[in-house]
A and B are shown apart, each in its own frame.
Chain A
Amino acid sequence: MGLTSQSTGAGVLTGKLNIKVSQPTDKIVALAGNPNVGKSTVFNSLTGLKQHTGNWPGKTVTNAQGRCRYKDCDFILVDVPGTYSLSANSAEEEVARDFICFGNHDVVVVVADATCLERNLNLVLQILEINQNVVVCLNLIDEAERKQIHIDTKKLSRLLGVPVIPTSARSGKGIKNLIDAVYRVANQRIKPSSLKITYDPVIEQAVALIENRLSKILCGSPFTRWIALKLLECDNKVFDLVKDNLGVNLYEDKQLLLNLDKAISVLAQNDIHPDEVKDIIVSNLISSCEDIYNQTVTVNAKNYNKLDRKIDAVLTSRVFGIPVMLILLGLIFWITIEGANIPSALLSDFLFWIEAKLSEFFMWLNSPVWLHDVLVLGVYRTLAWVVSVMLPPMAIFFPLFTLLEDLGYLPRVAFNLDNYFKKCNACGKQALTMCMGFGCNAAGVIGCRIINSPRERLIAVLTNNFMPCNGRFPTLIALISMFFAVFPLRSVVSTLLLLGIILLGMVLTFATSKLLSKTILKGVPSSFTLELPPYRKPQVGKIIIRSIFDRTIFVLGRAVSVAAPAGLVIWLLANIHVNDISLLAYCAAFLDPFARLIGMDGYILLAFILGFPANELVIPIIIMSYAAEGSMIELSSLAELKNLLVSNGWTWLTALCVMIFTLMHWPCGTTCLTIKKETGSIKWTALAVIIPTAIGLLLCFILATAARLLGLA
């Protein structure tokens, strides 16, 4: 789910691109392109890095950097977020535009989708307008051939005046040619002489007036033409851009402003209003794209997208659209629940076998009892529980989810659900950020950058926590399996319950979004454009292996970095006694009366509080608290865990309340920090904590009270 240390680390949140150059001879290569053209795949095959890829626009919202070496040259590759144009309509596009314009790179590789070249040429031409050192990477060429789209790359290269390299990054085809072309451009073996677009004669006349003056002020900067065009479009942001990046304040140049006025009056004499300049420039640009496209591309099969349309006719149809979505989600849940049982049991047998060996080892060392207890019963046991409960469901769920993602299904979900989001005055792309939330809410919160309107983005940030993440999802599965799975329809019942919980999360997302739009985040829905990319055949084997590997690393990493230290702290709390009562028991006793009101007990609520660093910890803390209080139990299966819980007074109501509270309480520490960074405000972060917590408390209270009044529990 795009969840790497890069995408959740602190460094990515600064907005600007910081390039780490280790030697002055390093060549910087920017990788630009429309969203969803396989830029990340090209990046991965060039660098061997494992940037997560997915078939939906906006996957790369933060930038990855990687290195690669070719011949005698070291390249630093920068994966720039996808953008359709350089006019920068959203925060993330602005980052891309700034880097492409002023990023101080040696070569720009523009990745274009061969199956949809006309649309991609728009960005190619805009980049060529600024930069000469460009290589066009015509990706997905095999896909295009399959659809019988033939592209005359030689002619395209001649028309554009830069190298055009057909590639199929997924299979690695053409990647060597690509890096070779980059090498030659970077070392000036080829001098590209890129196409200059000639605009309407009146526009050209006006541009000339400004450009002359600009090239004097900016000492022959390559951007003068582009800046002149922006000035004519009355895009006033360009003043700041020039000031920030080239250190020249254009407002101070009287002559330039005079020339600008003159240029505008030339336009006015020809009946061109400043508002229309942009239209004319874009129209010229798009006509050029159309012209180049018509000269270089032949499509043999007229209905090359027929299959996609047929699939869409089912997946987004009025009758089947929503049911298919729920069935697919349910199917994934079912496979996860059904499949996780056996590896979970095996893993826990294995890890507790190691625990026994560790204990023997400590005895053999003659180490003090307290040391053994701290390290083995505290640190190791927590770690073992986190790994055995969390890992199997995640290692099954994520590859399946990634398959859907790779296929291109997720944008269809956004398409299907957009109307509901619109009714809540929010954005359909929120559906995509919710999907990312499944992986990690912190990643989901960062992903909200794909939403253009700041108001809608804030709504998406504040509600992301309603999607159970990596750390909470397996807790839900474990609780369902223990308390609600009744034979003979065990897995079906579990699946439906899990689906119910997720739907509850979705309903609350909608309700909260609506509430926010009507109160503190008032506003009307902004404009919405969403690309539905072509379906692609997922590389099943590769995804499954990659995704299992990623998840394993992720879960293990979290277990070691968070669960192990937390295990230590909790063991100490449970075993340091004051007046024969442990600190843990003191705290739990304090919380108990309140916790009873919401259907839980003091230990459970304390576990949620202590689980703030990571939600994975909640169940291990509960186990350790109970185990430390009572006799030590060997916990090697869910059935034994259930016995422990039941003997501590758990009923179905407790389990249900814990599940609801798992879905709805404060976001974990990392997510809170991320929200603070993304919104830049303590106030919004506090709200992101308060909203789900309040709803969770309220629901649990109602449920517990109702069940008790009705005598059900």
Chain B
Amino acid sequence: MIDQGYIPLSSLPIGRTARVKKLNCSGLLRRRLLDLGIIKDTVIEALAKSPSGDPTAYNIRGAVIALRSEEAGRILVLPYREEV
């Protein structure tokens, strides 16, 4: 997984954009993430962290959604290159 360059969404630096590759969870959480429109190849941008560092706000399909690091950590993403 690491060699493919996937990282958990929770490690995506603020201001960077990434493409979703895998949802590493099941059950209710998976359903909830799917309902937010997070599927393979969804583009997500990390917008801002809350004052205490967690949760983080993400731009998901035009909506701003806050996710805790526990949930964001289950989403594996491939970051875009720096210039994008």
The proximity string for A residues 525-545 relative to B, scoring 1 for CB distances below 8 Å and 0 otherwise, is: 101111111100000000000
Cross-interface CB contact of A84 among B35, B53, B57, B71, cutoff 8 Å:
B35
Task: Tell me the minimal C-beta distance from B9 to chain A in angstroms.
Answer: 13
Residues of chain A with a CB closer than 8 A to B65's CB: 529-532
Closest chain A residue to B68 by CB distance? A528
Is the C-beta of A316 less than 8 angstroms from some C-beta in chain B?
yes
Residues of chain B with a CB closer than 8 A to A528's CB: 55, 66-68, 71
* Known contacts A286-B37, A528-B67; A419 and B31 CB within 8 A of each other: no
* Known contacts A89-B35, A282-B35, A321-B51; A119 and B61 CB within 8 A of each other: yes
* Known contacts A316-B48, A527-B28; A85 and B35 CB within 8 A of each other: yes
In the complex, besides A305-B59, A529-B32, 6 extra interface pairs with C-beta distance below 8 angstroms are A119-B62, A282-B34, A309-B48, A422-B54, A529-B36, A532-B57
Report yes or no: B52 in contact with A532, Cβ–Cβ below 8 A: no
Task: Tell me the minimal C-beta distance from A294 to chain B in angstroms.
Answer: 12
Residues of chain A with a CB closer than 8 A to B28's CB: 89, 527
Residues of chain B with a CB closer than 8 A to A289's CB: 37
Cross-interface CB contact of B66 among A122, A279, A415, cutoff 8 Å:
A415
Is the C-beta of A242 less than 8 angstroms from some C-beta in chain B?
no
Task: Tell me the minimal C-beta distance from A619 to chain B in angstroms.
Answer: 38
Report yes or no: B32 in contact with A527, Cβ–Cβ below 8 A: yes
The main secondary structure of chain A at its interface with chain B is helix
The proximity string for B residues 19-51 relative to A, scoring 1 for CB distances below 8 Å and 0 otherwise, is: 000010010111111111101101000011111
Is the C-beta of B84 less than 8 angstroms from some C-beta in chain A?
no
Task: Tell me the minimal C-beta distance from B5 to chain A in angstroms.
Answer: 22
Report yes or no: B68 in contact with A87, Cβ–Cβ below 8 A: no
The proximity string for A residues 399-425 relative to B, scoring 1 for CB distances below 8 Å and 0 otherwise, is: 000000000000000011011101000
The proximity string for A residues 303-326 relative to B, scoring 1 for CB distances below 8 Å and 0 otherwise, is: 001001100110011110110000
- Between A and B, 5 residue pairs with Cβ closer than 8 Å are A89-B32, A278-B30, A279-B23, A289-B37, A418-B66
Residues of chain A with a CB closer than 8 A to B1's CB: none
Cross-interface CB contact of B55 among A116, A118, A313, A415, cutoff 8 Å:
A415
B interface list, Cβ under 8 A from A: 23, 26, 28-37, 39-40, 42, 47-55, 57, 59-68, 70-71
Cross-interface CB contact of B63 among A275, A282, A531, cutoff 8 Å:
A531
Is the C-beta of A163 less than 8 angstroms from some C-beta in chain B?
no
Q: A598 to B69: give the CA distance in the assembly, Å.
A: 45
Residues of chain A with a CB closer than 8 A to B37's CB: 118-119, 122, 286, 289
Residues of chain B with a CB closer than 8 A to A84's CB: 35-36
Is the C-beta of A392 less than 8 angstroms from some C-beta in chain B?
no
Closest chain B residue to A317 by CB distance? B51
The proximity string for A residues 503-538 relative to B, scoring 1 for CB distances below 8 Å and 0 otherwise, is: 000000000000000000000010111111110000
A interface list, Cβ under 8 A from B: 84-85, 87, 89, 115-119, 122, 275, 278-279, 282-283, 286-287, 289-290, 305, 308-309, 312-313, 316-319, 321-322, 415-416, 418-420, 422, 428, 525, 527-534
Q: A526 to B49: give the CA distance in the assembly, Å.
A: 19
Task: Tell me the minimal C-beta distance from A476 to chain B in angstroms.
Answer: 28
* Known contacts A87-B31, A89-B28; A316 and B67 CB within 8 A of each other: no
* Known contacts A89-B35, A275-B26; A312 and B53 CB within 8 A of each other: no
Q: A416 to B34: give the CA distance in the assembly, Å.
A: 25
Q: A663 to B22: give the CA distance in the assembly, Å.
A: 48
Most buried by A among B26, B34, B36, B51: B51
Residues of chain A with a CB closer than 8 A to B68's CB: 418, 422, 525, 527-528
Report yes or no: A316 in contact with B29, Cβ–Cβ below 8 A: no
Q: A282 to B30: give the CA distance in the assembly, Å.
A: 11
Closest chain B residue to A116 by CB distance? B62
Please give me the 3 A-B residue pairs with the lowest Cβ-Cβ distance, nearest first.
Answer: A321-B51, A419-B52, A85-B35
Residues of chain A with a CB closer than 8 A to B60's CB: 119
Cross-interface CB contact of A529 among B54, B61, B66, cutoff 8 Å:
B66
* Known contacts A119-B61, A415-B50, A529-B32; A282 and B39 CB within 8 A of each other: yes
Closest chain B residue to A323 by CB distance? B51
Task: Tell me the minimal C-beta distance from A225 to chain B in angstroms.
Answer: 19
Residues of chain B with a CB closer than 8 A to A525's CB: 68, 70
Residues of chain A with a CB closer than 8 A to B62's CB: 115-119
Closest chain B residue to A90 by CB distance? B32
Residues of chain B with a CB closer than 8 A to A316's CB: 48, 50-51, 57
Report yes or no: A286 in contact with B39, Cβ–Cβ below 8 A: yes
Closest chain A residue to B35 by CB distance? A85
Q: A179 to B37: give the CA distance in the assembly, Å.
A: 30
